């Protein structure tokens, strides 16, 4: 086994929702178990609690082309019975020991979260191991979860945000895994079999595509043992299908009629992947333009100056194989065209002019000063560390991040703004009643 201490995390670490310790630095330790399972550890003994976040690279992008929704359905079933425990017995064991265990499927990751008191660590370890090595997929919980997912799919048809998001992703990524709904469709979910679930499970749940972050009252040696107990018997290698690099297809104008009080508007354009050298300048540019809530350019122009919308936002979304800029607002139906034209005009003006020095200084101050707030509980610390791992940013990123922000020049932001918005091409989706 191997343990390596690394740079300080932050000048502020809050160890749980119950106890706060400010102005205390914490080391991130790189732990490698005897069976080669790796994890990042922040040790905190003030509260007898362990929080673990982990992810297998895969997600709904690894669903069969004709059956979107397999990963999502699997995530709903892994805590519904495993080993000798049926669904009721498994859930009772979690409840009796106050263990929090959950799974979720995103577009590119299949994630899990474990939260346990120190006294029930062994029980939590055993239950998580069973879920990841001996899932049951009994008929009753399978059909119960299927029914819940189908009900959710029906409900999304009445949700303007879900309808806009689905239409946007389908338009941006036609014939690509990113364009499919993670939840699947009513037809695909109805057709998913237990064999489909087991096949996905066997391809994705493996050690070579696993990332783990742990925060709590556990040392490196104890964690090494826990890692082997939980993950050591997993297959060594996953069997993922390749996902093609893709540029979003932009320029569409999509209208979805829905009888709602306001028209919801979504924009999307080409963004940058997380490993692009211009990502941090682009992140700052997007914050100045539309991410700064009450201080952003778009908020100032759309709400403060003209009162056309309650809120407007813009930000970056980075996938492993693509990048997108998203923006969102809502307004009265008779004002939708005016708002869309105004936002497009402001985006183009920002692309050509970039920010002012004052805007850049304000953005840097906020982004640097607010960063510690992302680490306010043991669960959020584990989640942040997991995200850093998945993005391949390095174990010292939390220490380097604010320096990277501080080093960005106005020329960097102007260059990134031009890359993001210079061609003026955006897809627009509106959901609501047509203007009379």
- Does the pLDDT at position 292 exceed 80? no
pTM of the model: 0.91
Instruction: Please report, for the chain, how many H helices and E strands are present, in that order.
Output: 15, 12
For the segment 374-430, what is each residue's pLDDT rounded down to a tens digit?
Answer: 998 999 999 999 999 999 999 999 999 999 999 999 999 999 999 999 988 999 999
Domain residue ranges of the chain, discontinuous segments joined by +: 2-231, 253-387+394-432
Lowest mean pLDDT among 9-18, 101-110, 142-151, 170-179: 9-18
For the segment 324-372, what is each residue's pLDDT rounded down to a tens digit?
Answer: 999 999 999 999 999 999 999 999 999 999 999 999 999 999 999 999 9
- DSSP code of 267? E
At residue 8 the predicted structure's pLDDT band, cuts being 50, 70 and 90, is: very low
C-alpha angle with apex 349: 343 to 350, nearest 5 degrees?
90
For the segment 227-277, what is each residue's pLDDT rounded down to a tens digit?
Answer: 999 999 999 999 999 999 999 999 999 999 999 999 999 999 999 999 999
Kindly give, in sequence order, each residue whose CB lies less than 8 Å from that of residue 39, ignoring residues fewer than 6 positions away. 30, 31, 33, 212, 213, 214, 223, 227
- Does the pLDDT at position 5 exceed 90? no
- DSSP code of 23? S
Q: How many residues in total does the chain contain?
A: 436
pLDDT score recorded for residue 182: 96
Average pLDDT along the chain: 93
The yes-or-no answer to whether 2-231 and 253-387+394-432 have a common fold is yes
CA separation for the pair 36, 18 (Å, rounded)? 34
Superfamily assignment of 253-387+394-432 in CATH? Metalloenzyme, LuxS/M16 peptidase-like (3.30.830.10)
CA separation for the pair 168, 267 (Å, rounded)? 8
CA separation for the pair 50, 118 (Å, rounded)? 7
pLDDT score recorded for residue 415: 97
The sheet with strand 323-331 has its strands ordered as 253-257, 427-432, 263-270, 323-331, 312-318
Statement: 2-231 belongs to CATH 3.30.830.10: yes
- Does the pLDDT at position 6 exceed 80? no
pLDDT score recorded for residue 294: 78
pLDDT score recorded for residue 21: 37
For the segment 90-141, what is each residue's pLDDT rounded down to a tens digit?
Answer: 999 999 999 999 999 999 999 999 999 999 999 999 999 999 999 999 999 9
| Other CB atoms within 10 Å distance of the CB of residue 126 | 16
Listed in sequence order, the DSSP H helices in 157-219 are 160-172, 186-191, 194-204
């Amino acid at each position: 086994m191997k343990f390596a201490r690394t740079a300080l995390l932050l000048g502020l670490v809050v160890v749980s929702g119950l106890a706060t310790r400010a102005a205390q630095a914490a080391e991130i330790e790189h732990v490698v178990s005897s069976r080669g399972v790796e994890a990042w550890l922040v040790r905190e003994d003030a509260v007898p609690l362990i929080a673990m976040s982990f992810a297998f690279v895969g997600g709904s992008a690894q669903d069969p082309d004709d059956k979107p929704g397999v990963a999502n359905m699997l995530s709903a079933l892994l805590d519904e019975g495993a080993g000798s425990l049926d669904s009721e017995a498994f859930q009772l064991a979690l409840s009796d020991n106050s263990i929090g265990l959950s799974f979720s499927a995103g577009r590119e990751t299949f994630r899990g979260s474990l939260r346990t008191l120190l006294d029930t660590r062994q029980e939590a370890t055993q239950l998580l191991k069973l879920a990841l090595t001996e899932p049951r997929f009994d008929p009753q919980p399978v059909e119960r979860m299927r029914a819940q997912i189908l009900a959710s799919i029906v409900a999304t048809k009445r949700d303007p945000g879900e309808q806009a998001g689905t239409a946007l992703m389908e338009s941006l990524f036609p014939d690509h895994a990113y364009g499919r709904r993670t939840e699947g469709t009513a037809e695909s979910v109805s057709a998913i079999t237990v064999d489909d679930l087991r096949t996905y499970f066997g391809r994705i749940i493996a050690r070579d595509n696993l990332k783990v972050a742990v925060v709590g009252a556990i040392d490196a040696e104890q964690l090494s043992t826990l890692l082997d107990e939980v993950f050591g018997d997993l297959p060594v290698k996953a069997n993922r299908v390749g996902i093609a690099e893709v540029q979003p297809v932009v320029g569409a104008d999509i209208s979805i009629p829905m009888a709602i009080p306001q028209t919801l508007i979504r924009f999307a354009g080409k963004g940058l992947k997380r490993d692009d050298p211009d990502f941090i300048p682009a992140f700052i540019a997007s914050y100045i333009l539309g991410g700064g809530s009450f201080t952003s350019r778009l908020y100032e122009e759309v709400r403060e100056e003209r009162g056309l919308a309650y809120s407007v936002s813009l930000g970056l979304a980075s996938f492993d194989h693509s990048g997108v800029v998203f923006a969102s607002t809502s307004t009265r139906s008779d004002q939708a065209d005016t708002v869309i034209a105004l936002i497009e005009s402001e985006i183009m003006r920002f692309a050509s002019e970039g920010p002012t020095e004052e805007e850049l200084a304000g953005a840097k101050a906020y982004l640097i000063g607010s960063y510690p707030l992302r680490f306010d509980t043991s669960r959020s610390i584990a989640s942040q560390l997991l995200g850093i791992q998945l993005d391949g940013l390095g174990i010292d990123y939390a220490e380097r991040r604010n320096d990277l922000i501080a080093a960005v020049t106005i020329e960097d932001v102007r260059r990134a703004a031009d890359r993001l918005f210079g061609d003026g091409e955006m897809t627009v989706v509106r959901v609501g009643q047509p203007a009379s």
